[in-house]
Structures are given as C-alpha cells and as structure tokens.
Amino acid sequence: MSTTEEEPNPYELIGVGLEATEAEIKTAYRQRSLKVHPDRNPNNSDAARKFHELNQAYELLLDPLRRMALDAKYRLKEARKARYAKYDAKRKNLVDELEEREHVFKKARVEKEEKQKQVWRDNEKIMEEGRRLREEREKELQKREEEARRQAMEIEPPALGMLDTTVKLRWLLSARPTLTKSEELSSLLAPFGAIDSSDIVISLKPSPPKKPKRGTALIPFKQIGDAFAAVCSSNSVARGLQDVEVSWAEGKEPELIGWLKKMGKLGGETTTKRSIPNSTPAAPMAASISSPFSSFPTSFPELSNSSPSAPPPASSNVKGVDYESLTMMRLRQAERERLEREIREQDAMEE
C-alpha cells in the first residue's frame, strides 16, 4: 500500500484529471513538456528525470488498457479514502491491524512455499547424487566382474575342439614313395604318440590309374600334446619327417595350444636346454622338444580309445554311451568328412 502511494501519479504529472479525454491529455502534455524539457532547464540537474517521468505518464495514459487498469486502482483508492473518512480512529486502527496481519500471513505463506521448494530442490540434488554414486558403484562392480571373468577365462583352459588332435600331412611321392598307406603313416608318426589308425584319411594326387605325384593325409592323435609335437617337428630330419610338411588339420593352431602358450605352460628350462641335433629351420619349435611330452602338460585326459570319428552304434542303449557322447561322435564324424571333402576338392582343382 505504501509502495503504491509513493509511485508518481501520471495524471498529476501531466496536470489532468481522471475524466480527461485523449485530446486534453495531449494538450496538457505539450504544455508541460515545454516547461520541464532539459533544453529549457540547462541548470536543473533533475530536469532529465522529470522529463522522462512525463513521457512515461503520457504513454501510459494513451494506452487504453493500461489507463483502464490505472483508473480502477485510483478509483478503488479514492473509495477507500472515502470509506476511511467515515471511520473513527479506533476502527481505523482495527482495519490497519487486520491488513497488517493479512500482509504478514501472506508473507509467511510465501516464505513457507519458498522453503518447501528449496527442500524439494535439495532432495532432488541428494537423489541425483545417490543415482550418480549408485551408477558408479554398478560400473565398478561390473568392471570387477569382467576382470574376474577375464582372469577366470585365462586360468581355465578352453574346451578341446573336435579336430584339435588331428594333423595334416603333405609330401611329394618322389621324395617319400612309401607313404601311400595308413600303416606307413602310422609307423612314421608313432614316435610322437598314439594314433587312431582306423580314421586316417589319405588322398593321392592325381588319383590312380594316373601316377600320383603328391600325397595329403589327415592323422588323428589321441593326445593333443602328441599332435603338437608332430606339428613342431614338421620337415625335421631328426624326427624322420624330412620332406613331410605337418600342420594342423583346420589350418590354424587350436585354442588350447594358444592358451598354454599364453599361460607359459609350453616349454621350460628342462626342454630349452635339451635340443635335437640336425633340426631343420622348418621346425623351430621341435628343437626344444626332446620327446612328445617333454614340454606339454600331462594334466589333459586321454581321448576315448574308440575313434572320435567312428560312426555311432546302431542303438543308443549300448552300455557306457549316453546321448551327449553320441552327439559329439556325430559332430566329429561330420567335421572329419567335411575336411576330407575339402582335401579331395582341392586335389581335384590342382589336377
């Protein structure tokens, strides 16, 4: 209320009443502006402020909506003054007290609402901080789990593949004319370990009746360590494999061998100090292997005595053979047949 009374009255600034018309307002403005214009009052430091207030009042009174709101406020003030004039001093004090209480109540309500909003904002900040900390803990826990999983994968060896114990031999028949049958191949690789002779696959190229020039064979070992030793001895004269190239059947090193190398379980002081004389450059790793098991862990179980690629029995009720074993046998047989097909197709293309 006091703030409203302290505000300048636009009608008083221009010098007109509440009922003045627009034309009267414009006329009064021109007359008053000539009196308070800064150019007319160069020695008055307050002239610019008064001229500005005059312009503000003039623009307000020429705006119908703003003038309507202003008129309503002044009429209400005049009515209130008239009403107060009829009250005695005691009644006036009562009204003032009620208005003051209403003002205090409104102020307290606004402050309470502001405090409530501040509490909500603080709660939001706390909840946001809690969410951030929870996400950080979850990320840290996930990171630790991944690290533990990675370490577990490094510690636990990968599963043995169906063809991880099978090697592929390539040789020229002009250099090794006797290697045309399974018996000769078994005898050649017997020093490395036990072989499933019944599953040896031989491909001579070109096929008879033409005179073959080169040979290819798949030799399944019973132990992956024996197959590893044979691959390391490829073209080794000391191991009797001169002019015979030995590689893995799938064309890549088994995951188990890579895991053993990564874990440092292949090779050692006892094997690196002993070397085979007359080893050829084609078998660099064979020089550190003095026997088929000299540098390979012996903790891996031996495969079944029955051929891994042999066809499954006619009935699944055979003692000691469960459904999982039969499934693995069928998978190994299918993979072995696929490799044999690829070898024969490759031989046919080279012919």
CATH of the domain at 184: 3.30.70.330
pTM over 0.95: no
Last residue of a domain, one of 86, 111, 131: 86
- Measured CA to CA, the distance from residue 343 to residue 336 in angstroms comes to 11
Residues 77 and 170 in one domain: no
**End position of a domain, from candidates 24, 58, 86:** 86
18 Cβ contact partners less than 8 Å away, ≥ 6 residues apart: 11, 71, 74, 75
What pLDDT sits at residue 109? 92
pLDDT digits (tens, 9 = 90+) for 91-133: 777 878 888 999 999 999 999 999 999 999 999 999 999 999 9
Task: Please give the pLDDT value at position 266.
Answer: 67
Question: pLDDT tens digits for 277-318?
Answer: 333 333 333 333 333 333 444 444 443 333 344 443 333 333
Residue 104's CB: how many other CB atoms inside 10 A? Answer: 10
What is the number of residues in the chain?
Answer: 351
What pLDDT was estimated at residue 324? 55
Confidence at residue 270, expressed as pLDDT on a 0 to 100 scale: 33
Q: Which of 319 and 161 is assigned the larger pLDDT?
A: 161
The SS3 call for residue 213 is coil
Determine the Cα–Cα distance for residues 118 and 157; give it in Å rounded to an integer: 59
Top pLDDT among 209 and 33 is at 33
Report the Cα 246 to chain-centroid distance in Å: 42
Answer yes or no: is pLDDT of 327 > 70: no
Domain assignment present for 117: no
* pLDDT tens profile 4-21: 446 788 988 888 888 888
Res 298: pLDDT? 45
Q: What pLDDT score was predicted for residue 137? A: 92
Average pLDDT over all residues of the chain: 77
Characterize 88-102 residue by residue with b for buried, 16 or more Cβ atoms within 10 angstroms of its Cβ, and e for exposed.
Answer: eeeeeeeeeeeeeee
Whether residue 72 lies inside any domain: the answer is yes
Let me know if residue 111 belongs to a domain. no
| Contacts with 226 (C-beta within 8 Å, 6 or more apart), sequence order | 165, 192, 193, 194, 195, 292, 293
Domain for residue 73, yes or no? yes
Q: 275 or 190: whose pLDDT is higher?
A: 190
313 domain-assigned: no
The domain boundary residue, chosen from 298, 314, 343: 298
Average pLDDT in the 184-199 region?
87
pLDDT attached to residue 302: 42
Q: Are residue 71 and residue 173 in the same domain, yes or no?
A: no
User: In this structure, is residue 46 part of a structural domain?
Assistant: yes
What is the average pLDDT across 27-56? 87
Mean pLDDT, range 321-342, rounded to an integer: 67
Instruction: Report how many domains make up the chain.
Output: 2
d(CA 278, CA 245): 17
Owning domain of residue 16: 2-86
**What digits encode the pLDDT tens for the residues 237-272?**
888 888 899 999 888 888 888 878 777 776 533 333
